[in-house]
Structure 1
Amino acid sequence: MRDWFRRRYLDLLGSIYIYNEHRGYTSIDRVLQAVRARDSGNHALIAAIEKHRADERKHYMMFKRWFELQGRKPLYVDRTCGHIDRFVEIMFRRTIDDLDTRAVIADDALFEKLCRVISLTEQRGYRQVEILLRHPAVRTDKALVRIFEVIEKDEPSHWAPYDGWLRANGRREPKWWERRIDDFIHSELLFLKLPALFLNPWLRRRTDWADEHDAAALPAEALPAGA
């Protein structure tokens, strides 16, 4: 019974992470679109965000390989388990898919808000990985430990470009209430959604891989070079 609980927990953990990594790099494509339009000459910023995108894609592929080696696909989880999804929905009152990228480009206040949301999300991810690397169930899976060690190493560079843009443009840091929203989203997932999914006997698996639909899901102007 204990082994079943451990396998179920890791299965669900990997499924939530692979969803968030995929949502991460596909959302960054939209951020890159905005930054290239706003600051086309800021090559350092663009390069830093491109690295962020590449890392998120790399993390997605590591989790994908982890599932492939088990001969199965992830459990089906949706945007209700996405940290950035929930943060954008609360802050912008619309889903990521419905977010008007052109409006964000045109409005300094909206772009500033987006930078804070991304920065807080990435910092939350880093703290969570530190916790997971000490988790007894995670420590039993050497491949999963290596994945989280890579993420831990990559993560600090992910919020740096957004914090840097805020400082360079005289914009404020996140306020206490924005941090409380971040705490709420994390607690909601940890104490409500994760247990509900864990105990759901009807939770099905995906029948495909999320990245199979990447090109079709992105607007042409948001596609990375070579896509």
Structure 2
Amino acid sequence: MFAWFRRRYLDLLGSIYIYNEHRGYTAIDRVLEAVKARAPDDHALIAAIEKHRADERKHYVMFRRWFELRGVMPFAVDRTIGHIDRFVEIMFRTTIDGLDTKAVIASDALFERLCRVISLTEQRGYRQVEVLLDHPLVRGDKTLMKIFKVIERDEPSHWAPYEGWLRAHGKRAPRWWERAVDSFIHSELLFLKLPILFLTPRLRRRTDWADAHDPRPVPSMTLAVGH
């Protein structure tokens, strides 16, 4: 019984993370489009966001490799468990895919709001990884521990460019209600959506990888096995 519980929990955890990492780097492509249009000469900011994109892609590949080594596909979760999805939907009243990139490019207020959303999302991710690194079920999987340690190391550089842009342009820091929205989204996932998924008896698994139609192939990488 415990083995089933542990396997189910880790499968769901990995499925949620691989979805969010894929959503992360594909959404950052839209951010890069906006930044390059707004500030084509701000090479430092563009480079920092490109690194963020590369890290999210790397994390996705690590989780994909983790599933491949275990011989299973991730569960077919969707945008309802995506932190950045929910944040954008609440703050912009549209999905990420429906976000008007041209409007964000043209408006300081919209770009400022987007920077705060991304910064808060990345900081939330960092705090959650710290919790997971001390979680007994995660600590029993050496490969997952290695993945989360990589994410813990990478994460602080991910919110830095957005906070830096806000400071450099005299924009305000997130207010209490924006932080409250972030906390609500996290609590909603942790205490409502995750238990529902856990107890769904015939939760469908993906039949293909989320990056199957990405323009870039999955890079080869070595990740030690340990469960």
**TM-score, normalised relative to structure 1:** 0.94
Q: Which runs of 5+ in 1 are unaligned?
A: 217-227
Q: How far did 1:202 drift?
A: 1.9
Aligned-residue Cα RMSD (Å) equals 0.9
Q: How far did 1:71 drift?
A: 1.0
Residue 109 (structure 2) aligns with:
109
CA distance in structure 2 between the aligned counterparts of 1:83 and 1:173, rounded to whole angstroms: 20
Secondary structure at the aligned position of 1:213 is classed as coil
Deviations 1:32-62 (A, max 9, x none): 0000000100000000000000000000000
Residue 225 (structure 1) aligns with:
none
Q: Which moved more, 1:207-216 or 1:88-97?
A: 207-216
Equivalences, count: 216
Structure with higher helix content: 1
CA distance in structure 1 between the aligned counterparts of 2:63 and 2:21, rounded to whole angstroms: 9
Residue 61 (structure 1) aligns with:
61
Amino acid at match of 1:45: L
Deviations 1:147-166 (A, max 9, x none): 00000000000000000000
Residue 40 (structure 1) aligns with:
40
Report sequence identity in percent: 79
Secondary structure at the aligned position of 2:204 is classed as coil
1:144 aligns with 2:140: no
Structure 1 runs (4+) greater than 6 angstroms displaced: none
Q: Which runs of 5+ in 2 are unaligned?
A: 217-227
**TM-score, normalised relative to structure 2:** 0.94
Q: How does 1:209-220 map to 2 (within 5 A)?
A: 209-215=209-215
Deviations 1:174-195 (A, max 9, x none): 0000000000000000000000
Q: Which moved more, 1:46-55 or 1:207-216?
A: 207-216
Deviations 1:16-36 (A, max 9, x none): 000000000000000000000
CA distance in structure 2 between the aligned counterparts of 1:73 and 1:43, rounded to whole angstroms: 39
Residue 220 (structure 1) aligns with:
none
Amino acid at match of 1:70: R
Residue 72 (structure 2) aligns with:
72
Q: How far did 1:3 drift?
A: 1.1
Residue 159 (structure 1) aligns with:
159
Amino acid at match of 1:7: R
CA distance in structure 2 between the aligned counterparts of 1:215 and 1:57, rounded to whole angstroms: 12
